[in-house]
Amino acid sequence: MALDRKRSVRDRGSVRSRGSSSASSSDPREKLKDCCRQFVAFMFTQVGVGALVVSYAIMGAFAFMAIEGESENSDNNDHVARLRSACLSRLWNVTDHLNVLEERKWKLDVRQVLLDHQQAMALAIKGGYDGRTNQERWTFPSALMFSLSVFTMIGFGHLVPRTQWGKIATMLYAVFGIPVYVLYFMNMGQVLASCFKWFYCKLVRCADARKDKPLADGDPAAGNGNKEMIGVVSSAAGDELSDDLDEESYSGLIIVPSTACLWVWLTYLAVGTIMFAEWENWEYLDACYFCVTSLCKIGMGDFVPGANIQASSNQTKLIINFVYLLVGMGIIAMCYNLMKEEILVRLQELKADLIERLQDVSGRMRR
Amino acid sequence: MGSTRLRQSSLEERYRKCLRISLTFLFSQVGLIGLVVAYSAAGAVLFEWLEADQEIEPRRKILQIRLDCLERLSQLNYYSTATSTENSTELWAIKAGALLKAFETEVVKATKVEGYDGKEVDDAERQWSVSGSLLYSITVITTIGYGNLAPKTGPGKVVTIIYALIGIPLMLLCLSNLGTFMASSFQFAFGKLYCCLWCSSRHCCCHQRRQQRRRQHHEQQLKTLTQPGVVLSTLSPVSRATADVVLPTTATTTTTHIERRERNKKMDDGLSARDLAELAERDYDIVIEEDRPADAIIRTAAGLNYCATDKLNDKARSLLADCSRYDCRANSNNNSVAGTPLPGHISDWPTSDAAVESGGQQQADEGHLDRMMGESPLPPPAAAAAASDTKLPGNVPATSDETSKLNATAANKSGGGQQRVPVSVVLAFLVGYICIGAAVFSAWEEWSYLDGAYFSFITLSTIGFGDLVPGSKVLEQGETKLVACIVYLVVGLAMIAMSFNLVQEEVIYNFQKLGQNMGILDEK
């Protein structure tokens, strides 16, 4: 349901932007400037950034389809065809020369021929041959997945540019796409973090209202700890945290504990695992492995949903995979946002503690 | 004796501070690096143990498939010789071609899906050697993730997941630490280089530093100038009339000029009248009449204090200090207004012992001045400068920080004299690193230069497709190349962390300025 909301808001956003751009052409310069300003300001909001990311990916998909999909199947397929015919002619020579009775020699020779052919094939496969033509390889869903893997820095590698222009285009696409993605990442992280905090507060308030206890007493240790941490955090420029706290008309201070973030992430992972296992007929372990390596931006590429060799391109599934990965990145950003302050504080405490102990030790050593 | 004890304790303080710093460094930088190295080594051994055995499986499978193909070809042969028709050759070719194609598909599948590397069963080389596993571990924890080598066993995948979840934050921490450290050393080296190579214009940092040192030296001397009634004015009466802080003169004014003739007269300690003239020229002119009522003097002093330079503030301050102590009447000289040379050499001027003695009396006077100044209104142009110089009145002995503050405001963006590295330099550095990697790897692996650059870029941006990996060519041995790749990788990522550190403030500042110019962002 969050996905639907996001998608509908995105649609509305794109309509609005289209409207503003059409109105600006017939207005005086001030209004044009104003519209431009509003448009850019809108683009920097959450919806705008999400739309920007999606449109950048789609644009990239089309570009790569044009560059790579339309390129001649040149080297590899022809090369392999030539290899095959060479192998065939060798086989024919061997068969022609030797009598059917000299079976052992025939077998040895043919075995050697096959071995050579296999090794040549292995080289060709490393060079990119996989039995398909470029058009078959670079379908729209695959290209979309490729674009996504470039600018999110996952880099699956199941589909790679083979032409020179494709490689240059990839580098340029990455150089411009990665900042856009980083913007999206931070934006999404803040939005999700505030949503989650609000949700969590509501939950806690609800639970405590049911328990019929004032919250200040309900969790004294955590309250004090939270207060301390708030004191430290706000001094370390955690402005988003203080914003949310200002909205709290609340006696106690609530910090979302890191465990809650971890639970959210684990749930999301579980959902992804089940989804991919069912759809792609993978093992659960494989699906989990895929989810973790993709969400951690490692991106091995041995498992890619909907884009492996034998599969037929299933459009909706790939789009859902795309959305899953993007939202997953957002959730990681949210966890990072919520946890980093706490981690920083703890690390500083640890460091101070360590330094103190080292000073003790050094003092004792000097004595 | 007290001074020697002070010196000893300061030495000990310095030693302790040094020890503390080095220990902290050890446990933050080196310790972290050591931890990451140990973690990768452990991962290398672990993955090699988990995955190397299963690597034989695809080889066996391919061998079997090859033998099957052989069998089928021989059967085909048998049948075709048994039934020899006219176009038996073509028929044979078609059927044999079909068999070959099936064989090829199997090889493709084995390579792509099962990680077959093209070797034979009895080949000793493994992809999952220790160096291969090391590269794999590093690509996991740096999130590059080539994928040319991927775990195929169940335990391998589980271990990969856990290894990644722990290793990635560790690596991020290590890289950010390393980046901070490298950023500061790069900035330092760049500052030194910049000074050495471009130290010609007045706005260079080492020139400023030399000036700073000279100014500090002058301060010490000017502090001793406490001739009551000495007035510093190098301007003609006309300009004096238009100066901000000029007060009307009275009959018993004593003014003294620093003649330009006296400029080249150097004094024992290097301070010449010329220097004084230079300094006075650059700043507001200052006229003090010692018989003015106290509040006028204080107003003037306030105006002086917020003038641009330090020396004259000092001088004025020390003058005022003396004035409040002595009786500030007109002295007996009765010199006329203009054109009077300094009475003799500056070193001839009577020095006040009270001023030479540090602190105490002067502090009390400063306190007196403070209180008095608190009641008087500041002249308008000084109000703006007041914000940055709030602790001037009570700060007579220590003016070096004030000087540096002034220097800092005058200097261009450099805080404390350190040269900020511009974004273009950092970008050029990164691009140069990529080009070096491109050249080296394209030479080693016989790639084109574009492929080498593409590989470097894809690796350093942690995308990591894995189509091009050094040392992974099917029929070649590549252990040293793997190690070189690892070193290049790690150093490159550290450099990227360093560049982020160096440019982030400037980039953010530029973006904010851009946003403000475009009217999107408010002044945050």
Question: How far, CA to CA in Å, does B40 sit from each of A163, B249, B375, B383?
Answer: 35, 82, 68, 60
Average pLDDT on A317-335 reads: 85
Q: pLDDT tens digits, residue range B455-506?
A: 999 999 999 998 888 876 544 556 777 888 888 999 999 999 998 888 877 7
**What average pLDDT does range B395-412 have in this prediction?**
36
Give the span between the Cα atoms of B208 and A152, in whole angstroms: 46
Residue A174: per-residue pLDDT:
94
CA distance A297 to A56: 19
Least Cα distance to B455 among B446, B468, B445 occurs for B468
Does residue A7 have a pLDDT over 60?
no
What pLDDT score does B2 carry?
A: 55
Which of chain B's residues have a Cβ under 8 Å away from the Cβ of A103? 74
In this prediction, residue B435 has a pLDDT band, given cuts at 50, 70 and 90, of: very high
B393: how many CB neighbours lie within 10 A of its CB? Answer: 19
CATH topology of domain A258-356: Helix Hairpins (1.10.287)
Asked which of A259-263, B18-22, B325-329 is least confident by mean pLDDT, the reply is: B325-329
Q: Do B69 and A95 touch (CB under 8 A)?
A: no
Closest-approach residue (CA) in chain A for B156: A289
Q: pLDDT, tens digit, for every residue of B373-403?
A: 333 333 433 333 333 333 333 333 333 333 3
Report if pTM > 0.95: no
By Cβ distance, the residue of B111, B113, B140 closest to A298 is B140
Q: Read out DSSP for A163-223?
A: SHHHHHHHHHHHHHHHHHHHHHHHHHHHHHHHHHHHHHHHHHHHHHHHHT--HHHHSHHHH
Residue A132 pLDDT grade (very low, low, confident, very high; cuts 50, 70, 90):
confident
Q: Which of A39-53, B168-182, B343-357 has the highest mean pLDDT?
A: B168-182
Mean pLDDT of all residues in A350-355: 80
Range in A88-97, B285-294, B438-447 with the lowest mean pLDDT: B285-294
The residue of A298, A309, A339, A366 whose CB has the most chain B CBs within 10 angstroms, and thus the best one to mutate to test that interface, is A298
CB contact under 8 A, B474 and A126: yes
- CB of A321 within 8 A of CB of A306? yes
pLDDT in tens, B193-241: 877 776 655 455 565 666 677 777 776 666 655 444 444 443 344 444 4
| B residues 337-366 lying closer than 8 A (beta carbon) to A | none
Q: Determine the pLDDT at residue B317.
A: 55
Q: How many CA atoms lie within 13 A of B209 on its CB side?
A: 13
B102 touches chain A (CB under 8 A): no
Nearest to A174 among B116, B160, B461 (CB): B461
Q: Which residue has the higher pLDDT, B204 or A275?
A: A275
* CA separation for the pair B413, B506 (Å, rounded): 10
For the residues B59-70, what does the mean pLDDT come to? Answer: 88
In the prediction, which pLDDT does B201 show? 55
Best interface-test mutation with B: which of A118, A146, A153 has the largest number of B CBs within 10 A? A118
DSSP A214-257: -HHHHSHHHHHHHHHHHHHHHHTT-HHHHHHHHH---SS-----
Highest mean pLDDT among A132-146, A256-270, A280-294, B77-91: A280-294
Work out the percent of chain A whose per-residue pLDDT is above 90: 13
Of A107, A131, A362, the CB nearest to B74: A107
Q: Do B464 and A299 touch (CB under 8 A)?
A: yes
Q: Considering only A166-180, A211-225, B60-74, B413-427, which range has the smallest mean pLDDT?
A: A211-225
Residue given tokens 């079997």 in the structure block? B64
Q: Which pLDDT does position A256 carry in this prediction?
A: 66
Residue B259 and residue B342 in contact, taking contact as beta carbons nearer than 8 Å? yes
Domain boundaries, chain A: 46-188, 218-254, 258-356
For testing the chain A interface, which of B68, B520, B524 should be mutated: the one with the most A CBs within 10 Å? B520
pLDDT of residue A24: 43
* pLDDT score, position A274: 93
Q: Does the pLDDT at position B308 exceed 80?
A: no
The pLDDT tens digits of the residues spanning A21-32 come to: 444 445 688 888
Report the distance separating Cα B293 and Cα B249, nearest Å. 12
Question: What is the C-alpha separation between B47 and B64, in angstroms, rounded?
Answer: 27
Closest Cβ opposite residue B111 in set A122, A150, A358: A122
Question: What is the per-residue pLDDT across B240-280, written as a single tens digit (0 to 9) for each?
Answer: 444 444 333 333 333 333 333 344 444 333 444 444 444 44
Alpha-carbon Rg of chain A, whole angstroms?
A: 29
Most confident region among B39-48, B56-65, B114-123, B246-255 by mean pLDDT? B39-48
Q: How far is B121 from chain A (nearest CA, A)?
A: 13
Q: Which of A189, A199, A349 is closest to A260 using CA atoms?
A: A199
- Tens digit of each residue's pLDDT (9 = 90 or more) over A50-76: 888 889 999 999 999 998 887 766 667
Q: Is B62 on the interface with A (CB under 8 A)?
A: yes
